Chain A
Amino acid sequence: MIEPNPQGEVWVFAEQEDQRLSETSLELCGKARELADRLGVPVGAVLPGWNVRELAYGLIAHGADVVYLVEDRRLENYRTLPYARVMCRLIEKHRPQIVLYGATPLGRDLAPRIASAMRAGLTADCTDLQIGDYTESSSGTVYRNLLLQVRPAFGGNIIATIINCHRWPQMATVREGVMRLADGDPRRTGRIVQESADLTDMEEIVSLVRRHREPRKVNLKGARIIVAGGGGVGSRENFKLIYELAGALGGAVGASRAAVDSGFIGKEHQVGQTGTTVRPALYIACGISGAVQHRAGMEQSAKIVAINWDREAPIFSVAHYGIVGDLNKVIPMIIRAVRERA
């Protein structure tokens, strides 16, 4: 735990694997830049790893003023204990006021370990971050310029704003894909500060025996158009309709949890709170009733078309175009209309 330190930097934990930065780290640099400008402080990025110096320039291009580079062979592959140790030491040394992590599997493994060691607060899976004031109701004390950490809770049925006034740093994990990924500016300049890892044997209790990564076949986050199917598609066989429409539009195929749980399509296609959060230019929801968990993952799409036979389906509450009808008839009509235009 550190004392509140309004002069402290805004930090991003820079996540990398195999010398590639995660997209979320770059999204966070942009958000950190925004917050730091409000506060009038610099943005710092902590980059632990091995042979990762090159990545510092990407972080600077996306908004970092300082990159704390921690290179050690024992940091080559992510393991909780050495990474947590590095972060805790640097937080104590530099006393940042805010530390942001991607809400990735890695970030959600690491951040709570650090929060516990620092006895600091941590808010999971934020979808928005702002700077604002908070009045403590019991004492009437006003705290200025706190990090307002906004996140859905209760299965997405409520949106909570969490703050953290006494024990800093203010830390949050941030959902992947919700902060805009800006183009980096290669002309931006920043400092690279080398830090030592200073690990002990204690951090070597856990070893990585084997690792397997699957190439991401479905690129939902990068897709400009997504055609998604739900339980209403009816069968695995019938999902070919969804693929045909996606093919005609040059889009990717998404799915609701109902479709994934029914075995119509693989989990890597799932959009929503437990799947991928997307915001394409066009989202076509076919036979998706629109549970709140699903809407949370797609409602920021620029244009939403919903096709459902049930006029009362909640998906229509977020739709721009609603088609009440049978998707087996409607989808071929859309394909024909698109082909006529092409």
Chain B
Amino acid sequence: MAYDCIVCIKQVPDTSNITGEAMKPDGTVNRAALPAIFNPEDLNALEAALQVRDAFGGSVTVLTMGPLNACEVLRESLYRGADRAILINDRRAAGSDTLATSYILSCAIKTIGRYDIVFCGRQAIDGDTAQVGPQLAEKLGIPQITYFEQLVELSGRELRARRNVGNGWEILQTRLPALLTVLDTANQPRPPSARRVMKYKRARSPGEVAAETARQMPSADPAEVQQRTSERVRALQSAGLCLEQWGLDDIKADLQWCGLSGSPTRVHRIQSIVLTKQGFTEVPPTEEGIRRMVHELIVDHTLG
């Protein structure tokens, strides 16, 4: 039996390589100064989906919400073996918190229609919330298995998986469709295939084509740019190189539940953590210096 898989992915700023310029003077994050990467655990989610397809047949569709730049992670998914790639791109989605995001993703998945397993990374490194997966499962009305580490059995409409709960593991059995959130320990993501890179490096979304065309024809009038864009998009489509791009209307999302109005949480304050060099007692690395430190720790009852 074949399984249709959907993988939700996210392009994130690389928070593990933060430098001074990453923070603006007002304490907010300067996203532009940070390299954008494929959220690490989403790569594990993609790999888990590809393994199911390779073993049982079916398909892998990747789905992301974000600016046009996020097409980068869609192309990277195609390089690694995904069959279909969809971008949700709409200004009205800006400011979505995890609840609004999961609502929008659920509308997109309902628009895709048929699916058996939804894969998400456990969490994204920019927020570390791990909330979108379970929230999305609830919106779809399907069960969830979080902290997925190993597929134990998949047969017919039943899936058995092992999840890692920190101080041990559990094996859960569920009926399909179901949503899994995948841990980085679940697998080793395959590298991009050179053949697929050659094929898909030219893949573009209509929005990217429009932006590129406008850049190349700075003096042309808008109608001309639009016509050239449509021609290029058609050419990409016939070559199977057009990334799908959907707005909120395409997925019939109720705007009340999207963006800021769909987000119950608000950011009240942001404080950046600045490395402050507060004073510490420097202890010389000598027997005498160390003895004095140990003595002080005993006197103030830290030791003994």
Contacts and interface: CB of A to CB of B under 8 A. Distances in A.
Contacts of A152: 273
A303 B294 CA distance: 12
B172 A208 contact: yes
A239 B160 CA distance: 39
A67 interface: no
Interface in A213-272: 213-214, 216, 225, 249
Interface in A80-130: 80-81, 84, 104-106, 108-113, 115-117, 119-125
Contacts of B283: 321-323
A210 B172 CA distance: 7
Contacts of B268: 134, 148, 161-163
Contacts of A273: 128
Contact of B285 (A104, A210, A324, A341): A324
A180 interface: no
B167 A159 contact: no
A158 B273 contact: yes
A321 B281 contact: yes
Contact of A157 (B23, B131, B166, B302): B23
Interface stretch (A23-31, A33-41, A185-193, A326-334): A326-334
Interface residues of A, number: 84
A80 B281 contact: no
Contact of A80 (B144, B169, B266): B144
Nearest to A212: B168
Contacts of A337: 287, 290-291, 293-294
Interface residues of B, number: 81
Interface stretch (A6-14, A45-53, A56-64, A311-319): A311-319
A326 to B, nearest CB: 7
Interface in A144-191: 148, 152-167
Given A333-B287, A341-B298, A153 B127 contact: yes
B294 A323 contact: no
B39 interface: no
A65 to B, nearest CB: 27
A158 B34 CA distance: 14
Interface in B97-115: 97-99, 102
A61 B44 CA distance: 44
Secondary structure call for the B interface? mixed
Contacts of B13: 154
A212 B22 contact: no
A341 B280 contact: no
B146 A109 contact: yes
B67 interface: no
A308 to B, nearest CB: 11
Given A155-B15, A160-B267, A316-B280, A333 B175 contact: no
Contacts of A84: 138
A207 interface: yes
B276 interface: yes
18 contacts: A117-B138, A119-B257, A121-B97, A123-B265, A148-B268, A155-B18, A157-B18, A157-B29, A159-B271, A159-B272, A165-B266, A206-B143, A292-B273, A317-B276, A320-B280, A330-B285, A337-B293, A341-B303
Given A80-B143, A112-B135, 16 more contacts: A108-B146, A110-B134, A113-B138, A119-B264, A122-B131, A134-B266, A154-B127, A157-B23, A159-B270, A164-B264, A206-B143, A211-B170, A303-B297, A323-B284, A324-B282, A341-B295
* Closest A-B pairs by Cβ, 10 of them: A325-B285, A155-B15, A121-B264, A116-B138, A213-B168, A124-B129, A116-B135, A112-B134, A112-B131, A121-B265
